């Protein structure tokens, strides 16, 4: 069976994410409500998200921009940071997790 080397069981390392954002001077204050607690969805088969690219005609392209999704724990405002230029390092493989399917 061919190994396609598709990463599985990835998750967002929240500590690395906080370090990256802190180094960049990103504020933790929610611009909507002023609270400072953010939630990063991490589930068994979920790591980050994607914003679809468009073709310029209103049609979606087949790929998109990988992002880490965060939402305010108080007012639920959603924000995204592109998983590019070093931030993709917050994606890590789960140790010892089943390979899934």
Nearer to Zn ion, 24 or 76 (CB): 76
What is the 3-state secondary structure of 38-68? EECCEECCEECEEEEEECCCCCEEEEEEEEE
What does the block give as tokens for 53?
């690219």
Residue 32 in contact with Zn ion, rule: CB under 5 A: yes
| x/- letters, 39..78, toward Zn ion (CB under 5 A) | ---------------------------------x-xx-x-
Phi (first) and psi of residue 59, to 5 degrees:
-95, 145
- Among 26-34, 42-50, 61-69, 91-99, the segment contacting Zn ion (CB under 5 A): 26-34
């Amino acid at each position: 069976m061919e190994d396609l080397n598709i990463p599985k069981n990835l998750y967002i390392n929240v500590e690395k994410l906080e370090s990256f954002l802190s180094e960049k001077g990103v504020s933790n204050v929610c611009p909507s409500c002023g609270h400072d607690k953010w939630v990063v969805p991490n589930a068994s088969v979920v790591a980050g998200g994607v914003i679809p690219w468009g073709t310029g005609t209103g049609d979606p392209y087949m790929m998109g921009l990988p992002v880490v999704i965060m939402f305010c724990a108080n007012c639920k405002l959603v924000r995204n940071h592109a998983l590019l230029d070093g931030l993709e390092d917050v994606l890590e493989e789960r140790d010892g997790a089943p390979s899934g399917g």
